[in-house]
Every structure is written in C-alpha cells, then in structure tokens.
Structure 1
Amino acid sequence: MPVRRLRTGLALTLAAALWPPLSVGAAEGPRGPYGERLTIDERGITLTFPDEAAKLRIGGRLQLDFGAAGLRQVGLPEPFSNNIAVRRSWIESYLTIGKTLELAFQYDFAEPTRPISDAAIGWKGIPDTILTVGNMKEPFSLDQLISDNNTVFTERSLADAFAPARNFGFAIGRRMGDWTAVVGVFGGNANTGIRSEGVSAAARLTAAPINTDAQVLHLGISGNYRSLPQNEAPLQLSARSEAFLFARPFVNTGDIRDAASIGRIGLEAAYRHGPVLIQAEYIRTEIERFDGARALSFQGGYIEASVVLNGQGRRYALTPDYGTTYAIFSGVRVGDAERVSNGGFGVFELAARFSAIDLDDGPVRGGIEQDVSVGLNWYPDRNVRLMADYIRSHAAPSAIAGGRTIDADTFIGRLQFYW
C-alpha cells in the first residue's frame, strides 16, 4: 500500500478516535429554516426534515490491520509485504425520501482499483418488496452478504473466493413472513466496466423456521451463473489465507483463459441461541470452457462458532434498507452499562472457525488449503472494535511454493471505527 494512502488512513483513524460522538452520545443542533434537524451520534451525521419527508445520513468506517506471519518451510518469500495497512477507509451516505426511496453511496479511499462499493437506488413502493438498481452485492453467500463491519473474523472464510461480491445490476427482493427471496441480473463492476465481465443471473432463497428473540434457525440456498466473454480478461480464483496482509495467496488457479461461464451453488445454515451463533456454508463452482474442453469443478466451505461472553447475541435481520442483503446477522451491541465511557469493561466475543478450499481439478493445480482460526473481539464502546485472530494454514500443493506444501502461523489484529 502506498505510504500516502497509509498516512491518510491513519489520520482519518485518529480523527475518528477523537470524535466525541463515539463516546459521549448524541448531540443535536438547532432546527434550520425549514424545520430540519441535525443530529450527531453513533450513527454519524444525520439531517432530518419535518415529518421525516427526507433524511440524509453520512457515516463511515476505518479499519487498520496489523500483524505478523511465519512460514514453517524455508526458502519461501516473506509472507507480508507490510505489517500494518489500512484495510478500509470508507465514507458513506444514505438519503431516504419518504418511506419508499433509499439512495446509498459508499467510497473506499483504501481501495485502489474498486473504490466505489455500493452506489444504488432502492424503491419500496410495493409492500414487503424492494427493487434496487446500481452497484451492490449479488445475492449469494451469507458470509459475503454480512457487512464488513460485522464479520466475526477480520476476513471472511476461504470459500469467499467463490462469492461474486459487488457488481452493477438490478435486483428484486421480497420478504414473506420468515421467508425471503432475492433475484437479480448483473453485469460487471461499476469501477472496472459494467459491460466487461459478461452477464450474471443470481438468486437466493432463505427460511427461518425458528425466529424468536432467543433462538434463530436460518437455512438458505443460492445460485449464480455468469457467462464470460471470449478474448477478455482471463478468469482467476484464489484465496488469501484469511488475512489481508498476505502479499500473495497460497492457493491460486492462475489464469483460466478459455473459461466460457462460471456457475455457483451455495448452501448455508446458521443457528443462534442467545449469545451463541453457529454458522456454516458449502459452495461448489463449475467452470465451462470454450471449444468443448473439459469443465472444471472447485469447492469450498466453512463452519464457525462464536459466543458473546457478556452481552446479547447478534440480531437476525430479515429485511435491508435496500439491495440484496436479506436474512443476515448484524453486529454485537454494546449496552450503556458495558460502555467504557460509562465505566464498564466493554463486550467480549470469542470465536473459532474451520474453512477449506479445493482449487485442484484436471489440468488446473491451484492447490488445496485448510485454515483453523480462533479470534477474540473486544467492543469497548459503541462504534469501536479491537480484533485479534490467530490462523493456522495448511496448503498442499501451494501455487507460490512450486507445488510444495506450505504451513503458516498468522496473527492479525484490527482496530476498527464505524459510525
């Protein structure tokens, strides 16, 4: 990461740390000439017009990663190019007009190639239905759809290599009691060219047969199919061993230049009982190739468990404000009594995960990796989180080791502010 971007991120992080609303609660200014009200609190800066005819909220997130890694095999390159880096440095804005229209824009100053994250318009004029157009997440994978602010670990699992993430398109989502369904059609990413990556059709269906304040049972299935244009940028799949600071991935298919399409199917399940959350996914990916070449098949998955040691469990949210993020789990809440600014000790969360990915099939020897992770999260106050993860990785064969095995021990810490 360039020094200039790192310094900018550090400056923004320090500014956020010193920003009073993160620790002293809401501050409300006088009403404006049209009766509008300006509020500054843990949700950012909010401008609300009378009768909530319109509301503008400006927020952001800052994530600073630091850590170290050691490879047990000799003669391999250094795993980290930097031991500290800004993971995300976002500014985001949300404009609500009446009860039917939501506009969202997110920009990441720490992302050199895809700084625009969400840039979307959602319409809620039909009961229990949201129509969204713009750059947003395709409806695929519970792990991917959960916000970066609220993931249990610093990074998503190895299987996230198969998730399509954000692209430009149109989606329709509907809630039917404890069921949700989302379908959409997408092109490429708004940052790199909407027409440059073929066309994708995506769908996700979820059910919550148990959905109470004390317990939630979540089940889901998602599918995604994308046609790929010939003679464009080759397809490549890789996983960065669940740590942003790694200079290169341990497993990598390399360029698949004859890929004609990529299809994915994902199965997901989660169970929350009070402060305990167990979550698992399996994703299978099929790649069709031009000129009748044999198709390629890859797979991955994870299972993780977390427990909030002295607070409430993660809430289950069936409906978003816009977009495709239906039926997901939100972040850990910090009650007034637990806030360090009120004399408390914060809230602690303990977690463990096993994840695996298989990128070996036919002529493609991308490698097979298994990671075991344990993590501890501390929420000293609202809008602040300190994370510490240990990851034990085993990759065989590894793309960066000339087909040899790689074993790595990694520690990753993160300082996070969000509002």
Structure 2
Amino acid sequence: MPLRTARRPLVLAFVVASGLAAPALAADAGGAGGSGAGLAALDTAPPAGAQPPVTLDDKGITARFSDGSRLRIGGRLQADFGTGRVQQRGFGTVFEDPARIRRAWLETYLSLKDFEFAFQYDFNERRVPISDAIVAYKGIKDVIITHGNFKEPFSLDQLISDNNTVFTERSLADAFAPARNFGSAIGTHAGTLTMVTGVFGGNVNTGIGNQGIASTTRVTTAPWLSEDRKEVLHLGVAGSFRSLPQDSSGLTLSSRSEAFLFDRPLVNTRAVRDAESISRVGFEAAWQHGPFRLQAEYILTEVGRFGGAPTLRFQGGYVQATAVLNGQNRTYRVAAPYGSEFGVFGGIEVAENQRVSRGGAGVFETSLRYSAIDLESRSVRGGIEHDFTAGVNWYPDRNIRFVFDYVRSHSSPSAEALGFGRRTVDADIFIGRAQLYW
C-alpha cells in the first residue's frame, strides 16, 4: 500500500475517535439525564486532597475527568552529538554531521473507560514518522487487546522504551527485531507470567499490505521479584514467522555501529531477492539486584527461499551490565498499558533531594556491553561485527538525561570492506545524547 494511502486513514481514524470522545463526555455531563461527568468536570472543584482536573508536570499535560477518563499529552526530544574514526583507507566520512536530532516526538494518550487510544508522531523522521497508533480494549481482567501500529512482541531490548534504554542505541542484534508493524495482539498476565501473541502486516508508514503476514509470540516469567519490583530475575522466549511476498524488493538485513550518527552499515546482506519467509527465535534473561543489572539476549534468524534454495541462517546477541552509583535501580513492569510491552524495565527515578534544581547532583549510571552479529550464510556474505560499548548516564533532574558512550567496532569481513580486499574494518566512536522527555 502506498504511503499516502496507508498513513492518512489511520491518522484520520485516530483524530475522529478522539473528537467523538469529547462530545460524548460533554453529553454525559450536560445532556438530558446526564450524570454531570465528563468534560464539565474541568469546571468542578475537586474534592479535598484530590488532584486538580488539569496538571502540568513531569508526565506532560494531563486532563482528568470525574468518570475516570484521562487525556495526556507528552513528548520526547533527543539530540545526538559525537565524533569518530575508521581505521581503513578509502572508507570515507565517518559522520556526515557532528550533531543531529535523533527523535522529536509528540505523544497523545486517551483513556476512556475500558479503552485506551495512543498516537505518537516523530517530526524528525521522514520515512516512518508514525510510531504507535492504536486502540486497545482493557475491559477483560488481566487481558489487553490491541489493534493498530505498535511493536511486535519480540526482544526485551526492543520493547524497552528508547527513553529508558541504557545506551544511545540498541545492540547489533536489534537488526533481527521486527519492531513496529500494523496488526492485532492479545496480551495477558497471571502473577509474573506474561504472554502476548499477535498477527501483523507491514508498517503503517511504508505499506500495511506489501510486507507479508507475520505471527509473533512472546512469553516471559519472573520467578523472583521483590515487593518493590526493584530486584528481579527475568526470563523470556519469543518466536516470529513472517511470509514474504515474491516481488523485486527482496529482504535486506543490516546493522551499523551502535551510534545514530554513524550512517554507513559495516555489515549488510544486500537484498536477498528470493526470500520467501523469515523466522526468528529469541531468548532473553535479566537479573537485577541492588544497584546492579545483567541482561542478555540471543536471536537466531532463518530466511526461507523460493525455488527450494537452501535456507540462510543468521544470528546475533549481546550481554550488558549496568550499575546505578547513587540511586535506586529501575522498576520492573509486568503488565503493559497497551500493546506488547509486558515484562520490561522502566527508567531511572531521581529522588527529590537528588535533583540539581533542589541542590542535588543527580543520579549516575555506568554501563558495559558486548554485542555481535553474524550475517554470513552460504552465498550471502554480509559480514560479522563485534561491538564493545562503555557508557555513562547522568540524570540531573526528572525527565532529563545525558548519555555518553564509547563504541569500539570490529567487522571482519564486512560488506563495506569488499572493495578493500575483504580486510577488517575497525571504528572508534564517541557519541553523546541530550534527552528531554515528558
């Protein structure tokens, strides 16, 4: 489906749904037989001790109504800066720009009785500006049914919000994660056990119907979880199968070094023209105790091919360790507000006395990660890459973060090195990020 026909109906549907909700609330408030609930509650003095009907705080602008409905408007702004060098003659410019906006999002969330609406738009993204665009039904206990454009239930690293990821970018293995697509999913949890399964087409920005059909499922459990949800042992497994259309576009898998400003991928399969299907299986584990957290994933990907050609097999994974030096660690969330983000970690919380605006020094977090990806199989010589990343995060105040990462990349052999006699390519990258989110 072309971009113009894929995007406009969904945006229009969301706007119409939000627009219809407001008159309905107003009718409840002032119509014949109305109960006085809804938008008219904004003019009603709240009970003693209750939150005001409209608030502006670290969660954005929130309007609350007496029937329990809630409208929130938030956003995020991420600006990256850095430098780097490649130890290979003729490679060319490492960074086209020393600084660039990574994300500039506007987010709206409407909670209306048993329904949740969400819409996220990235003004900095030309190709896929629409992120989440969903309607979710939550009227069944411990069950969420979601329809729209959202993340397929695959990979802990991918499902953690980019507001809360430890490093500026996810690992090399994220090249195998399907990320956001248009479809329907049902998720549930019982205690600390979660399961989400769904059926998805293509991304709403690039064409719902031109990327085949996928079935994706993820199951997680937390056999050990403290009462405050700060200490946890997390285990998970996910699987995905997508049939691909037989057309001239083909399937391409690639990954660039773990820095947004590093534009050129060091490993790249190029287009696999005879790809019939892509299957993924992922294993994930995380252990968090006190200020420390260990997290790891392994993803195996198989590409089936038309005409009985041999299957291609690719793999990747990472292991990372973090330590919060002077604050509390991240909270583990079992259930999701909507979609597929069950069994994930939240962000760092800055206590009142730690805020720079209150005379504190903020919260500091250190991190290390090793990740690898193998895109070589049979006749496809996409390359093998290993990355080592060391980082420091500083949270000076609520909703503000500064990230500083050093990435050492080693690819051998690499698609970009084909013109250099298949020699290795080594890169040293320093990347920083200033982040504001609300």
Amino acid of the structure 1 residue aligned with 2:435: Q
Mapped to 2, the partners of 1:215 and 1:109 lie a distance apart of 37
Aligned to 2:42: 32
1:232 Cα deviation after fit: 4.6
Aligned equivalents of 2:354, 2:405: Cα separation in 1: 23
Aligned to 2:194: 180
State how 1:269-348 maps to structure 2 within 5 Å: 269-348=285-364
Q: Which residue of 1 aligns with 2:110?
A: 95
Is residue 392 of structure 1 aligned with residue 419 of structure 2?
Answer: no
Partner of 1:13: none
Residue identity matched to 1:168: F
User: How do 1:134-149 and structure 2 match up within 5 A?
Assistant: 134-149=148-163
Does 1:248 pair with 2:264?
A: yes
Deviations along 1:69-116, one digit per CA (max 9) or x if unpaired, are 111122211111111110000000000012x21100000011110000
Which residue number in structure 2 is paired with residue 194 of structure 1?
A: 208
1:406 to 425, 428, 432: 425
Alignment of 1:374-389 (within 5 A): 374-389=390-405
> What secondary structure does 2:416 align onto?
helix
Whether 1:210 aligns to 2:224 is yes
Query: SS of 1:32's equivalent?
Result: helix
- Between the aligned partners of 1:277 and 1:232, the Cα distance in structure 2 is 44
Contact residue 269 and residue 375 of structure 2 kept, 8 A: yes
Query: Counterpart of 2:413 in 1: which secondary structure?
Result: coil
Equivalent residue in structure 1 for 2:384, among 359, 368, 373: 368
Question: What residue number does 2:183 align with?
Answer: 169
1:219 match = 235
Q: Name the amino acid aligned to 2:176.
A: F
8 Å contact kept, 1:31–1:38: no
Question: In the TM superposition, what whole-angstrom CA distance separates every residue of 1:282-301 from its partner, at most 9, and x where no partner exists?
Answer: 00000000011111000000
What is the CA–CA distance in structure 1 between the aligned matches of 2:294 and 2:399, rounded to whole Å? 24
Q: 3-state DSSP class of the match of 2:121?
A: strand
Counterpart for residue 17 of structure 1: none
What one-letter code is carried by the residue in structure 2 that aligns with 1:157? S
Task: For residues 353-398 of structure 1, give each alpha carbon's deviation from its aligned partner in whole angstroms, at most 9, with x where no partner exists.
Answer: 0000000011100000000000000000001000000001000111
1:136-162: per-residue Cα shift (whole Å, max 9, x none)?
Answer: 000000000000100000000000000
Identity among equivalent positions (%) equals 58
Alpha-carbon distance in structure 1 between the residues aligned to 2:99 and 2:41: 43
* Aligned residue in 2 for 1:67: 82
Normalising to structure 1: TM-score of the pair? Answer: 0.91
Q: Deviations over 1:171-228 (max 9, x none)?
A: 0000011100000000000111110100000000001000113520000000000000
User: How many pairs were matched up?
Assistant: 388
Provide the TM-score with structure 2 as the length reference.
0.87
Q: What is the alpha-carbon distance in structure 1 between the residues aligned to residue 336 and residue 192 of structure 2?
A: 14
1:128 to 142, 146, 160: 142
- Check whether the contact 1:34–1:49 (CA below 8 A) recurs between aligned residues: no
Structure with bigger gyration radius: 2
Preserved contact between residue 42 and residue 65 of structure 2 (Cα < 8 Å): no
The residue number in structure 1 matching 2:73 is 58
Structure 1 residue 31: Cα displacement: 7.0
CA–CA separation in structure 1 for the residues paired with 2:73 and 2:116: 13
- SS at 1:50's partner residue? coil
**Counterpart Cα distance in 2 of 1:334 and 1:203:** 34
**Amino acid of the structure 1 residue aligned with 2:122:** D
The answer to whether residue 65 in structure 2 is matched with residue 49 in structure 1 is yes
Structure 1 counterpart SS, 2:390:
strand
| Equivalent position of 1:21 in the other structure | none
- For the aligned residues, what is the CA RMSD? 1.2
CA contact (8 A) 1:263 1:285 kept: yes
Alignment-mate amino acid for residue 379 of structure 1: Y
Q: Is the 8 A contact 2:94 2:262 kept in 1?
A: yes
Give 3-state SS (helix, strand or coil) of 2:203's partner. coil
Q: Distance in 2 between matches of 1:43 and 1:309?
A: 25
**Displacement of 1:303:** 0.2
Say whether the 8 Å CA contact 1:305–1:352 is kept in structure 2.
yes
